[in-house]
Structure 1
């Protein structure tokens, strides 16, 4: 619906000038009435000059037309997935929807595939983190690319591992989420952090609470078991068998033995890695999200993650906006006509005085 309104282009300064012009127009009429007997000003001249003042005052108040328009806004969902690939993710003590025991990273791969299925119209960004964190696939709606990426995931080689540090992806996540929020302010951003929660590095873990301002929802997905399992030696993403030992340093500074297991230097026995549910729950609290443990009975395709994904489906909403368009040109035309009339009257009067 269209309507008229006053929208002073010069703000309060314009309003003050308009009031002054209204006062000047009133003064022109008052002076004419008072000095009618002793002045040669005609009534037409008085009306002309008063109208000129009033028209200029209206121009300063900027008459405008208000037009309402409807625009359709698409609220998309951006899903960010970060997967732990440290050496402990090679431990085979995980379950994912069945009683079959699989490696933690294999469970993580299955979780990634289910996550992409939960958000059919979303865009995805994926990161891996071990000694450092890196964005492997920038934001894309191509779920096939995400599935291919998941197939290529492999645990970090034992020789380059310097201990599990859960905050390794924090800086990269912070920059990526900040950029996403600035580029797509209307999108919903959901984070999935998939890890066993084991922290073996000597440094204190930094809080994930700095991510909270950029997230609409978040999930920390725990893979593995609290009973734990022995950590195999990993070379170039492949767990070593008994004949392929290694002398390289491993997760947490342990050493590898000749049977292909990482040795705990404190006990001299093969090290055991256990999923740390307390740490996983703490990280979920820091991002105001939810902790989920995937096991034989729970996968990403059901439970709270599936329920939440329906909340962040792509939606289309209609927004009504009002547009204000100044309409000053008719008044400008009136001012030009009155000014020309005034100038002509002055010319005629000057010739008479000659």
Structure 2
């Protein structure tokens, strides 16, 4: 048992001083020599009530350690939002009731989120640069909000990209996570069409830093590489920051015709093999169900860990019952005292009334 004041020691000490002064003042009247026994009982009852209130404020408590279930799954999402991800070859394209590759990405992101409701998520967005837009968090609402706001990169700002642009940042994030919580399971999902448009700049930068996809395999426990797009590819509309279904198509500078983006399935397959995860090509037509990439055969994923949390359990309810009893006693005593005063004053009032109504 220990004391952990509900409102801090300073306020508790001030309350103790106020109670002591109030009892001292009332004691001058209730404890005087000629006071009746009932007055003395009143003082002791109020002293007990004040003591109980102070005891409650002092917060008698017990330190408690409780084991609670926690998820030990960390999910890392690398999401390609370059202009090519707006290619209109998802589920037949808009003319066939389909949409863009990003429509497929949003659906698959939602499936991953729902498959691991207790996991922690981190999101790395890939366009001309790679940025960690959502640190590791268990806030599912934040993940949902990010998915709902996912848009392609603004066309005028595009400077080309490739999967390798995300490699240094992903390696840094995974290394830090492995060092902080080596016992956790880390799932990596890469959602991209694999198309490189930076003339190898990203690959050269990763190679110069001595980082390759194979090096990440040791800290990756599962996940998948999900590719988007059809063999025929699709054209992409320009994007200026606001959705416009009638925006002009991005053109090929060599031909002046709408450019066609074709997924680089070889690149996607190579990344998946290096990481040791599943590779699936997604077109929105006859795709495998989401369980094909969310059902992970990893022992850590299938069993949650347990975390010991320490907190203080206040043991004030017995004192609360005692305080309630004393307050009830005080109320009953006040009612009796009020009745007694009325009984003492009634004859005088009645006599005065009779005298006023008599003959003059």
8 Å CA contact 1:94, 1:101 repeated in 2? yes
Q: 2:211 matched to 1:211?
A: no
Asked if 1:124 is matched to 2:121, the reply is yes
Matching residue of 1:222: 227
Please tell me whether the aligned partners of residues 77 and 314 of structure 1 are also in contact (alpha carbons under 8 angstroms): no
The whole-number CA distance in structure 1 between the counterparts of 2:151 and 2:288 is 21
1:183 alignment partner, one of 175, 180, 183: 180
CA–CA separation in structure 2 for the residues paired with 1:80 and 1:195: 14
1:315 alignment counterpart? 304
Relative distance call for 1:75 and 1:147 in structure 2 (3 A) is closer
Deviation sequence 1:226-269 (CA, Å, 0-9, x none): 21111211112535625xxxxxxxxxxxxxxxxx1222122332
Structure 1 position 316, deviation (Å): 3.8
Q: 1:314 Cα shift?
A: 4.0
Determine if contact 2:121/2:138 at 8 Å carries over to the other structure. Answer: yes
Shift of 1:298: 2.5
Structure 1 position 90 matched with structure 2 position 95: no
1:12-31 → structure 2 map (5 Å cutoff): none
The aligned residue for residue 241 of structure 2 is 236
Aligned to 1:169: 166
C-alpha distance in structure 2 between counterparts of 1:307 and 1:212, whole Å: 15
Residue 290 of structure 1 aligns with which residue?
A: 278
Look up the SS of the partner of 2:237 in the other structure: coil
* CA RMSD, 1 decimal: 2.6
TM-score, length of structure 1 as denominator length: 0.59
Contact 1:211 1:287 in 2 (8 A): yes
Q: Is 2:222–2:298's contact at 8 Å kept on the other side of the alignment?
A: no
SS of residue in 2 equivalent to 1:236: coil
Give the equivalent residue in structure 2 for 1:160.
157
Question: Offset at 1:297?
Answer: 2.6
- CA shift digits 1:284-311 (9 cap, x unpaired): 0111111112232325622243354797
Is 1:277 aligned to residue 277 of structure 2? no
TM-score (norm 2): 0.58
Unaligned residue ranges in structure 1 (runs of 5+): 1-70, 243-259, 319-354
User: Which among 145, 149, 154 is matched to residue 146 of structure 2?
Assistant: 149
**Contact residue 86 and residue 156 of structure 1 kept, 8 A:** yes
Could you list the runs of 5+ residues in structure 2 that have no partner in the other structure? 1-66, 207-211, 308-360
The answer for the alignment partner of 1:25 in structure 2 is: none
The answer as to 2:295 corresponding to 1:306 is: yes
Query: Please, which of 262, 265, 275 is the counterpart of residue 253 of structure 2?
Result: 265
CA distance in structure 2 between the aligned counterparts of 1:309 and 1:213, rounded to whole angstroms: 14
d(CA) in 2 for partners of 1:310, 1:214 = 15
